[in-house]
């Protein structure tokens, strides 16, 4: 009986430690929307909902050795023209980072990135965010 109690205690201790160090597999959840702006222009919004105790970097750019800025890569599509650059809805939190040895910017909680595009016809645009 003592062996079973010790074994159960060990299993519980191991499981507890796994839960304590486990991290969410996807600390950022993304959603998208498209809004017509008239004159064949559309605003594509990319909403990032960031879990507590996590953040995502701003759009940078950063020099070599810095953090990986949040980047949006749009597949080439002859039916779509990008108008301007990706913009963020909020001002990034900026601070000197000792690890990178430079000032960096990041977002916590929620931020919406947007890109205006011009499209003459219904089409699909593939986007990758890193």
13-17: list long-range contacts, CB under 8 Å, 24+ apart: none
pLDDT for 54 beyond 90: yes
Cα distance between residue 130 and residue 126, in whole Å: 13
What is the model's pLDDT at position 14?
43
Q: Are the CB atoms for 42 and 36 separated by under 8 Å? A: yes
Q: How many residues does the chain have?
A: 130
pTM of the model: 0.79
CB atoms within 10 A of CB 71: 13
Q: Which residues pair with 116 in a beta bridge?
A: 43, 83
Residue range 55-59: mean pLDDT, rounded: 96
pLDDT for 68 beyond 70: yes
């Amino acid at each position: 009986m003592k062996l079973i109690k010790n074994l159960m205690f060990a299993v519980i201790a191991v499981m507890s430690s796994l839960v304590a160090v486990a991290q969410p597999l996807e600390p950022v959840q993304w959603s998208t929307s498209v809004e017509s702006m008239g004159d064949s222009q559309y605003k594509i919004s990319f909403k990032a909902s960031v879990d507590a105790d996590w953040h995502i970097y701003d759009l940078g750019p950063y020099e070599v050795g810095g953090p990986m800025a949040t980047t949006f890569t749009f597949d080439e599509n002859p039916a779509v023209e990008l108008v301007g650059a990706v913009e963020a809805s909020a001002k990034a939190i900026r601070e000197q980072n000792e690890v990178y040895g430079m000032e960096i910017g990041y977002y916590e909680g929620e931020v919406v990135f947007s890109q205006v595009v011009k499209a003459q016809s219904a089409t699909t645009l593939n986007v990758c965010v890193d």
